Structure 1
């Protein structure tokens, strides 16, 4: 993999916002056979978890908007949804970050490498998943603070897996990197989320009404098909955001910590984990 150029998944230089988004898509494309099926399992579980709350809130597929008079249930639905998607993206961030780290070092991580538990720090990842969920639940309950929480937590998995920091330090490092350079990393994460939210809504609603318009949706199948559509859309959107988190994290380190210079000066034969580990 070249250090620079339009075909590089992750060039060793500061990138524009457009290049960051492109790099995330390239990373997802290269590792879709691992990330997308993994995301599909998590997204399907999320849809099943949210269904009882959606029904209690009186929402109807495929948009799941609130019914008048049930705002409390709908608010709970939004809170749970914010927490579950943040936790899913956090889990997917583990293999996505390892794939991005390999790309930065000029190689493509294979499926076996991404699935191999040795050195993947899954224990720390699973320890931090409920922490991220709790923070996002609290932030979402307070309304607009959800935006702040989501912006600050994008690099938790990359900080743990790539930077090799202690699990208890990973959220703080994520927040620290998110606010550097005028909050650039956090803003890019929010931009990526917004872009994929528009894609998710467009596809989720469009596919459903397309099938309904062709009379291919009997009433008894409307809810299951809607859940399946949303799970399918999220199985691409969630790993895409995780890939963006990984790319933005490494680019922020290049921009603010000189990671590209450190890699260029590293002695030959230095292990990958040592090359990318954050200075302590």
Structure 2
């Protein structure tokens, strides 16, 4: 049974916050062979994209902190960074949602199943990714609006891949699930991001400063080393956040739509996509 014991990736029942975070990590461990390399490519591209903005803002490694007199450039850097993060998590959300859908039915999705283009909704995902980026860029430019935007968008790709909704319906579907039950799903997504943000800053800063203290690179290599370290850290953090989005979407449906009950009552032989899309 998929919900027999604490080691299940996604038990068929409402979960506590701690169990949700654990489920996301378990899903990442199960699908690391797919998600981490994919994330690494995107994370390297992100670091290269942000480098000119960092140099313009006068931000230096390892944490790319604000330099006095360059506030406008630094604010733009933060907004673009928020947008690139959101786009990467959205793209990683496609395979993560497929894997979470399989976990909900008690099986571990094999790499070829996660990568299979049939039924993956990659076209809609690629169409919505720049929309997510534009929304998060705009929200980040207004400061606190970023929190609202990030909280509302977590279920976007799972709604496409698992619920099988159309692209125009995915955003309203994600927002509706995020605000149910006192915005529980949205707040948990923010909590997950905050936790990984603290971990990313700590790991990246410690790694760069540690390597520098050991004299393993010259001062001229500080920027390239910092870029590589941040890309490496983000290649784990971003898929972890995508996995959290996937399991949080499933759990919210179980909590508010009775998805677990619908699955238990489904007739034998019902196709898997139909099972997961039940009760939209």
> Structure 1 length normalisation: TM-score?
0.99
CA contact (8 A) 1:164 1:278 kept: no
Which 5+ residue runs of structure 1 have no aligned equivalent?
none
Name the residue aligned to 1:129: 129
For the 8 Å contact 1:15–1:251, the answer to whether it is kept is: yes
* Contact 2:20 2:247 survives alignment (8 Å): yes
Whether the 8 Å contact between 2:259 and 2:279 is mirrored in structure 1 is no
- Find the aligned partners of 1:215 and 1:57 in 2 and give their Cα distance: 27
- Give, in whole Å, the separation in 1 of the partners of 2:5 and 2:195: 25
Partner of 2:172: 172
Structure 2 spans left out of the alignment, 5+ residues: none
Q: Which residue of 1 aligns with 2:58?
A: 58
Residues 164-219 of structure 1 deviation map (CA, whole Å, 9 limit, x = unaligned): 00011101100000000110000100000000001100000000000000011212
Q: Is contact 1:125–1:157 with CA below 8 Å preserved after alignment? A: yes
The equivalent residue for 2:115 is: 115
Alignment CA distance shift 1:278-1:152 (3 Å): farther
Are the aligned partners of 1:4 and 1:13 in contact in 2 as well (CA < 8 Å)? no
Counterpart-to-counterpart distance in 1, 2:28 and 2:241? 9
Contact 1:82 1:140 in 2 (8 A): yes
Whether the aligned pair in 2 keeps the contact of 1:165 and 1:278 (CA below 8 Å) is no
| TM-score, structure 2 as length reference | 0.99
The CA deviation string for residues 28-78 of structure 1, in whole angstroms up to 9 with x for no partner, is 000000000000000000000000000000011011011111001000000
Alignment RMSD (CA, Å)? 0.8
User: Larger deviation: 214-223 or 46-55?
Assistant: 214-223
Match of 1:239 in 2: 239
CA shift, 1:4, in A, is: 3.5
CA distance in 2 between counterparts of 1:160 and 1:197 reads 27
Looking at structure 2, the residues matched to 206 and 112 of structure 1 have their Cα atoms a distance apart, in angstroms, of 37
Q: CA deviation at 1:13?
A: 0.3
Within a 5 Å distance, the mapping from 1:82-101 to structure 2 comes to: 82-101=82-101
Instruction: Tell me what 2:220 maps to.
Output: 220
SS at match of 2:44: helix
Whether 1:256 aligns to 2:256 is: yes
Q: 2:266 matched to which residue of 1?
A: 266
Q: 2:74 aligns to what?
A: 74
Q: How many matched pairs?
A: 280
Q: CA separation in 1, counterparts of 2:6 and 2:278?
A: 27
